[in-house]
Amino acid sequence: MGKRVEEKVIKPPVKQITSGKIFKPSQAFLKKMLFKSAFVFVLIWLLSIFCFIGFCLIFAADDPIRYPSAFQLIDTYFIPVSLWTAVINLIWLVPALIAIPPYFRSIEYSVKAETGETMPEIYSKRGILTITRKHLPFRTI
């Protein structure tokens, strides 16, 4: 209890690392991020349409007097449900498509120090508003 242990945090010298050779990700990574956003948009739209069709079939089977035909319900409400789903999805898709290119341009990696030696870890920098700088060991990549 009376023993006091001092801790010392050892950090790599960031200036030597960040001043070395800087690498940027490939343009394929930008296209992949944009494709993922569009794919999630289409996936959410398809999921909502399939749920709508399923509910129409359940409503028609459950109460045939009030809902005489599932196909009539689908024919009547397919376009409004589809458009509302697309509009609500655009609320997150448009900002995502605007933010992805600046985020992509902010990504940097450095493997070599300014002396030209290969370092035991990789320096990573990314972010638009909050810039994150990390040291990553080679084994995590």
pLDDT tens, position by position, 24-76: 889 999 999 999 999 999 999 999 999 999 999 998 888 888 888 888 889 88
Asked if residue 140 has pLDDT above 90, the reply is no
Query: What percentage of the chain carries pLDDT values higher than 70?
Result: 78
Here the tokens at position 7 are: 């801790």
Q: Which residues sit opposite 22 in a β-bridge?
A: 110
Mean pLDDT of 124-130: 82
H or E segment at 45?
helix 27-62
Q: Give a yes or no: residue 102 inside a domain.
A: yes
Here the tokens at position 100 are: 């992805």
Cα 126 from Cα 118, distance rounded (Å): 21
Q: Give a yes or no: residue 138 inside a domain.
A: no
User: What range does the domain containing 79 cover?
Assistant: 20-108
Q: Give a yes or no: residue 113 inside a domain.
A: no
Q: Give a yes or no: residue 39 inside a domain.
A: yes
Residues 134/18, Cβ–Cβ less than 8 Å: no
Mean pLDDT of 96-108: 93
Looking at the 3D structure of the chain, how many domains does it have?
A: 1
Cα 122 from Cα 137, distance rounded (Å): 6
Q: Give a yes or no: residue 133 inside a domain.
A: no
Q: Give a yes or no: residue 27 inside a domain.
A: yes
Q: Give a yes or no: residue 140 inside a domain.
A: no
Q: Give a yes or no: residue 124 inside a domain.
A: no
pTM of the predicted model as reported, rounded to 2 decimal places: 0.72
